[in-house]
Each structure stands twice: as C-alpha cells, then as structure tokens.
Amino acid sequence: MPEILTASQMRQCERAEIESGAVTGLELMERAGESVVTAVFSRWPDPGPSQAVVLCGPGNNGGDGYVIARLLAERGWIIACYAYGDPTRLPPDAKANHDRWAQIGAVMPWDDAAIEDRIDDMEGGLVIDALFGTGLTRPMPDDTAKTWRGIYPRRFSNPSGPRPRFVAVDIPSGISSDSGRNLGGAFPADLTVSFHRAKCGHYLDPSDGPDRPGGGASMRGDLVVTDIGLPQDATPGATWLIDRPSNFLMKQAGHKYSHGHALVLSGGAGKGGAARMAARAALRIGAGLVTLACPPKALAENAAHLDAIMLNALPDAYSLRGMLGDDRLNALCLGPGLGMARAQEMVPAALWGKRATVLDADALSAFADDPSGLFGQLHESCVLTPHPGEFKRLFPDLAEKLSGDDPSYSKLDATREAAARAGCTVLLKGADTAIADPDGHVALHSATQDRAAPWLATAGAGDVLAGLITGLLARGFKPFDAATSAAWLHVEAARSFGPGLIAEDLPEAVPQVLRALMAQG
C-alpha cells in the first residue's frame, strides 16, 4: 500500500534531504515547477502558445508558481502572473524564483475583480493555483472571493465546455492537506499535481453533501503525484492508502475447517435479513463454514432463505457460551439486525470467548450509554465498524474534535485515537473509510473520484462489510488486514456490479472480483 502524508511529514522529508546537503530548496522548487508543467501537458497535450493566469501566493507554493510561469513563457505562452501579498517578504527560495520571473515578465499585484474578469473571458488556456499550499489552516482571505467566483461555477457547471483548465499546485488552495476539510472558499481544480507523496487531504472528503462538493477528494480533480528526487524510504507514522488487498484473497489448499468457521448472530423473527447478508458475505469471501445463530422462533424464517449457511437456535447468552466450547468457531459477527436488548446480552458472552469478533450496528449502539463498559471487555482480536453516528455515540469527544476548530484534525486522527482507547481495530465507515489498530497503524480507503461507488449508499451495505471482515478473520487474517482488505473488496464489488446495486447483490459480486484478481496474478 502506498503512503500518504500530512503536511508536517512532507516538510520533514524535504528538510532532511536539504539538511543532508543532497539537494537545495531552490532545486526542489525547480523540480516541482517542471513536474507541474510536464503533468499538465501529459493531461492536455500542448496546443501551442496559449494563455495562462498564474496565481502566486506568499509562500513556497507561490515560488512553484513563478517557476511554472517562467517555463510556460519559454514555450511561448502569454502569462498573466498575479502576486498575493508583498513579494519582498517571500521565503528566500520563492523570492529567488519571483525575481527570475520578474526579469522576463510582469508581476501584477493581487486584484480580485480583475482576475475574475480575466478568467471569465478565457475560453481556453490554464489557471494555475499556486496561492496557498499544504500549510494553510484558515479560511481563504476575503479578497480571493471574486477569484473563487470565476473558478468554482465554471469548474462544476461547465466541466467540458470552452473554459480554462484549473490546475492546483500540491493541493487546491483552501483545502486542509491533513483533514481534507474545506477551510472556506477553496478553489476547485481539474488537475492537482502533488510532489513526492499524495497528501491525506487529497483522499479525505468531509464534504458538505452530494449537491455541494466541498472536501479535498471532491475538489482536487485528477491527481498526479510526481517524483522530485526525494528518497523513497518509508515515512514513520505515514498513513497507508488502500489501493489493493493487503493479503492474497484466494484460498489455498486445505479442507473447510482449515478456512475457519464463522458464527453470525441474528435478531428475532422478521429481523434476520441483515445477519443473513453478513453470513453470506462471510461465506463468499472464503470462510470454510458459516453458522447463523438466531432465537428459536426465527429458525423457520431463516431456514427458508439459507442453504449453504448452517443454522443454530440460540436462545440466550448462556447458550452462546456453550457454543463457544467448540474451538473451531473462530470468528464471530454481532450487530446486524441483532436488536439492542439482544446485543446487550450477547456481546459480553461473545467477548468472553476471546474469538476474533466483529461488532457492528446494534452491538455498538447498545453501549452508547456506557462506552467504557464495552471498552473494558474488548480484546485485540476485535474489530469495531461504526458509521459516523455510531462513532459519535461511542467516542463523543473525538467526534466533537472532528467538527471542531482545529482544521488539521482528521478522520485518520480520530480513528487512531479511537483504536488506542478501545484496544482493538476500528473501521470508521464512509466514502473515505479510515482504519486503525491499537499499535498506531492507520490506513485509508477512499471511494472517491475514479473509485467512487455512490450506489453503496443503500440499506444493508454495512452489514455486508461486517460479514466480509468476519469471513477474513475466520480464514486467519489479522484484524487490521481483514478490515483493510474487506474495505477494498466491498467497494470493488460495488463497482463491479454498478448502478442499481442493492445490498443483497454485494456478496454475489465477490466471485467476479476474485476472478479478476486471479487473472491479474
């Protein structure tokens, strides 16, 4: 899995290389500007001399902009370069590139209205956003509002019509590179060119809703990550981006018991659909056996729906403890359709058994009044799979921090803290799904841009995800690996099926995904 970095981690990478004497900041800035121009013309072949508006900010991001302006001018482009702030106060490397540009072209002071008018008149060319890079932690200044008005409506209302292409240098101005939060007035892009590693904010998407794209993943457009010559060593504490399964998902040789026996608990009569979908997902992903345990009065209903999945009557927690006397039952799933009262009774008995255990839905909400009571019973082989509402009930202080005043505090931070507190793996669901374990490992699966699967917003999809994790746990995957692999597989199955998906379709799409993986070798 590739790394994605925070702004601080990226600065550390650059600082270490500069302090070692291997490269200068000026050389890195030149490489960054060159890589943007290369990426632009890879995305849109150079039509020959055209026009570009280059918006340069008061920091090193602005320095990248001056490099880009110079390189485009060398190709014969007509450049309108606007400087935000006092150029004499630029950092040294950015000031050097400002001065190099000023020898061949004009640097115009910031004029919000003039920039809006210029963009409105453009039917082609480029607008380069090199205003504020990865270090921004506050809303965009008021005097960028008209520039925003020139960019935002045209980016979203006229995606392919006659207009300039909007290019963000490192990250769209106004987006937190750590949390993906729109700090206010962020500029959207058709293309974002980042350096060395993608940033967390490129994939996190705390947006304002489907009708008002707002988060980093929604605003960045296409993302290109370029090599500027920094060492490719692993970065301590980096987040892993889930772009493929973390383990080989196909079964190896063995018999059914060598692939585990998963137990899924169900609610009462008329409440078993969610548990049945979870059980079917566990079986589809390769658990050797799956048993659904339900109240005696629900046996007939579940028997009418299930064939390959076994059934067992489970009247109470005492009976569950008895079932767990069978050591071959090595993975449990509690929550989907379980019911609050039954969850309060069954969860302690399940955790007593010290099996790999997925707690979802009702198994989490049942402890909203006493989260610490739940945490005291958890063990490191558990996986909690809350959606944001359930997360808020279990970790109210962390949810409050997520919506608080610190724009750099991200979903990744909250999930990492939650896993440490719970002492087990936590998967916080969403289009950007964050996963953390108590050792501090963090991964992100972002179902955005070219991996978007909006049809997953359907009842029961989360129950299937819980079943996929349970099936992988039964097969012997470690909790963190089971959660990361299942998150990828869940989205891949939805994308394989396509629009019109309902939750029952997800387990049936798994074989097609596995066949595609097998074909890839």
For residue 138, the model assigns a pLDDT of 93
Q: Tell me if 429 is assigned to a ligand binding site.
A: yes
pLDDT, one tens digit per residue, over 152-178 is 999 988 777 789 999 999 999 999 999
Q: Tell me if 182 is assigned to a ligand binding site.
A: no
Pairing of the two strands 78-83 and 289-294:
unpaired
Q: What is the DSSP string of 274-311?
A: HHHHHHHHHHHTT-SEEEEEE-GGGHHHHHTT-SSSEE
Q: Tell me if 63 is assigned to a ligand binding site.
A: yes
Q: Tell me if 135 is assigned to a ligand binding site.
A: yes
Give the angle 233-234-236 at the CA atoms, nearest 5°.
130
Residue owning tokens 């097609």: 512
Q: How long, in residues, is the chain?
A: 521
Q: Which residues of the chain have pLDDT under 50?
A: 209-212
Alpha-carbon span 206 to 5, nearest angstrom: 17
CA-CA distances (angstroms) from residue 303 to 283, 313, 441?
Answer: 16, 11, 41
If we measure between CA atoms, which residue out of 134, 142, 154, 223 comes closest to residue 184? 142
Q: Tell me if 202 is assigned to a ligand binding site.
A: no
Q: Tell me if 129 is assigned to a ligand binding site.
A: yes
Q: Tell me if 138 is assigned to a ligand binding site.
A: yes
Residues 6+ apart with CB under 8 A from 183: 136, 137, 138, 139, 140, 174, 175, 176, 407
Q: Tell me if 173 is assigned to a ligand binding site.
A: yes
Q: Tell me if 441 is assigned to a ligand binding site.
A: no
For residue 211, the model assigns a pLDDT of 43
For residue 394, the model assigns a pLDDT of 98
Give the start-end residues of each E strand in 309-449.
310-313, 329-334, 356-359, 382-384, 425-428, 432-436, 442-446
Q: Tell me if 339 is assigned to a ligand binding site.
A: no
Residues 6+ apart with CB under 8 A from 99: none
Pairing of the two strands 3-5 and 239-241:
antiparallel
Retrieve residue 63's tokens. 């320095």
Q: Tell me if 270 is assigned to a ligand binding site.
A: no
Q: Tell me if 431 is assigned to a ligand binding site.
A: yes
Q: Tell me if 511 is assigned to a ligand binding site.
A: no
Q: Tell me if 452 is assigned to a ligand binding site.
A: no
Retrieve residue 406's tokens. 């610190």
Burial (CB count within 10 angstroms: exposed 0-12, middle 13-18, buried 19+), residue 500: exposed
Q: Tell me if 463 is assigned to a ligand binding site.
A: yes
Sheet holding 198-199, edge to edge: 198-199, 3-5, 239-241, 442-446, 432-436, 425-428, 382-384, 356-359, 329-334, 261-265, 289-294, 310-313
Q: Tell me if 60 is assigned to a ligand binding site.
A: yes
Amino acid at 34: E
Q: Tell me if 134 is assigned to a ligand binding site.
A: yes
Alpha-carbon span 165 to 459, nearest angstrom: 38
Spatial contact of 177 and 6, defined as CB atoms under 8 Å apart: yes
Q: Tell me if 330 is assigned to a ligand binding site.
A: no
Q: Tell me if 448 is assigned to a ligand binding site.
A: no
H or E element, residue 10: helix 7-19
For residue 208, the model assigns a pLDDT of 52
Q: Tell me if 337 is assigned to a ligand binding site.
A: yes
If we measure between CA atoms, which residue out of 31, 25, 89 comes closest to residue 56? 89
Give the angle 481-485-491 at the CA atoms, nearest 5°.
155
